[in-house]
Amino acid sequence: MIDVHTHVVPRGWPDLRAVTGSDGWPWLRIDGEREAMIMVGEVEYRPIGAECWDAADRLADMAADGIDRQVVSPTPLFFGYERPAGEAIKVARIFNDLNLECVAAGGDRLIPFCQVPLQDPDAACRELDRCLAAGHAGVEIGNHVGDRDLDDAGVVEFLQHCAEVGAPVFVHPWDMPSGPRLDRWMARWLSGMPAETHLSVLAMILGGTFDQVPNSLRLCFAHGGGSFPFWLGRLDNAWHRRGELVRGRSSRPPGDYADRFFVDSAVFHPSALRLLIDTVGEDRVMVGSDYPYPLGERPAGQVVRQAEFLDEAQRAKLLSGNALRFLGLA
Ligand code: CO
């Protein structure tokens, strides 16, 4: 079984204020041999454990969950898309090189994905190329760059480059809106993240991105594509009945694009998994857990292993076959 959605937080990154000359970057407060706190300024952002940086812990958890291989992606907090590109380039290089160190002990069981300074498409392409040469197998991007979504000309240029060099792209929601209604109950993660992903799938369809990138682009949306699969019918209806407002640059109805991307299986309920398969197809859903974060699925892959409606051929696709194709390994 391959888990395509996991995160790393390396230890021992340098003082990013010294590296970039600007304030407000995350830093790690070491709270013990196996505990640390990601800090943003003086604010405690997220407590993390050794499984975030220690391959031995990660491999032990994989063994316990029956996972053979993991895609190990950055944690979006460190993307820095809102920063001047020169700063984000330096930080991306640091974290990408540290990710390779983190996964080294796992051999080919841990598959590193890199981050890129997406606010600067040329620099993003260069960093991707550098990372692919250094051992990364693909790239994780945030679902937007400030007010620019995945139909932004620069982002499209980057995605075209990914298709050209055969790099798989994992799209992760991040930088969610905040405010009094969202800054409680983890609402930014519970309703904000699925809405962010939904909006970015819309941008790729209605903004014409899928019409501008080749079919060969292998792209996966996290968290089962967010709210999109549930609301595709509403979108199709709007495209036909309010086309003057909705069609944008899309050449075909939204449902025609539903087989252009992969999604992970981090939806928890078998009924939601069934909807995913009905929407994007049994060749487009892959196990993804969001390990090691607490909103992720443990044991990883449980909903796929336990879903009674899957026959064994379908289950095999979701457990590994589709991921091998996404990664370009089959
Ligand atoms: Co995640």
For residue 68, report the phi and psi dihedrals to the nearest 5 degrees: -85, -40
Low-confidence ranges of the chain (pLDDT < 50): none
Tell me the CA–centroid distance for residue 249 and ligand 1, in Å.
Answer: 30
Beta strands in 134-292 (DSSP E): 138-142, 169-172, 219-221, 262-264, 285-286
Q: Is this model's pTM higher than 0.85 or not?
A: yes
Q: How far is the CA of 291 from the centre of ligand 1 (A)?
A: 7
Q: Does a cis peptide bond (omega within 30 degrees of 0) precede residue 292?
A: yes
Say how many Å lie between the CA of residue 8 and the centre of ligand 1: 10
Quote the pLDDT of residue 237: 98
Q: Which of 277, 224, 291, 330 is nearest to 66 (CA)?
A: 291
**CA of residue 76 to ligand 1 center, whole Å:** 8
Structure tokens at 26: 């995350």
Number of other CB atoms surrounding residue 154 within 10 Å: 15
What does the pLDDT read at residue 83?
96
Predicted confidence at residue 11, as pLDDT, reads 85
Structure-block tokens of residue 147: 């007010």
Helix axes of 55-65 and 85-104: crossing angle, nearest 10 degrees = 60
The pair of structure tokens assigned to 240 is 């036909």
**Cα 110 to ligand 1 centre (Å):** 16
Å from CA of 292 to ligand 1 middle: 9
Q: What is the pLDDT of residues 205-259, one digit of tens each?
A: 999 999 999 999 999 999 999 999 999 999 999 999 999 999 999 999 999 999 9
**Residue 68 Cα to chain centre, angstroms:** 20
Establish whether the linkage from the previous residue to 299 is cis, with ω within 30° of 0. Answer: yes
The mean pLDDT value of the chain amounts to 97
pLDDT tens digits, residue range 248-300?
A: 999 999 999 999 999 999 999 999 999 999 999 999 999 999 999 999 999 99
CA 71–ligand 1 middle distance (angstroms): 11
Ligand 1: distance of its center to the CA of 109 in Å? 19
- Per-residue model confidence (pLDDT) at position 41: 87
CA of 266 to the centre of ligand 1 (A): 9
